[in-house]
Amino acid sequence: MRTQSKETQSKLTPDLALQILKDGNQRFVNNLKANRNLLQQVNETSTGQFPFATILSCIDSRTSAELIFDQGLGDVFSIRIAGNVLNEDILGSMEFATKLVGTKVIMVLGHTKCGAIVGACNHVEMGNLTTLLNKVQPAIYAEKETKENRTGANAAFVKNVTDLNVHLTIERIRRESPIIAELEKEGQIKIVGAMYDVENGNVNFF
């Protein structure tokens, strides 16, 4: 598998970039890794990087974007934070990745059985974690389907909140970053949501 270069990056459309991620996840699920020399990629990326995707995912140890999408060095910007929530620093990182470096896709990747989402559903408060989990509250409020047992013990409720958290994060990216919104409007990038299943390795693209 070749290392991304300025030339290969520039030739990619947002749709092609997204397809690379989809194909990579299929390889991962089927345990068919692309043949790549990581040490060679160290050398080939030593003078610059030209990734094609920016992925916001959770810090969960099971959700490494490079692994579940079968990507190598220099392929993706990986932003990781508990609950794949959004803040100014992450938005700034996304603007850097897209406007300045040229990635074609922004993906917000949630995952099943997310401890941060469960904690938010249980209204956990602990030190600085309190502020982080509060960022999930809009998704909890937006979940109108569940009338009883709106806690982390209700798997259906947690799933709904997890999905909504991804969708609301995408809405915030568009609303709070005019730079990214303009790139999307011009067709230079695509913003997508997805959900990783920790039980089987599949990524469901919204």
**Which residues contribute to the annotated binding site?**
58, 60, 111, 114
- Please report, in range form, the residues annotated as the binding site for Zn(2+): 58, 60, 111, 114
CA 10 to CA 104: how far, in whole Å?
9
Nearest to 59 by CA among 41, 38, 78, 43: 78
Torsion, Cα of 92, 94, 100, 101 (10° steps): 140
H helices of 48-198, where?
65-68, 88-95, 115-121, 129-134, 137-142, 155-176, 178-185
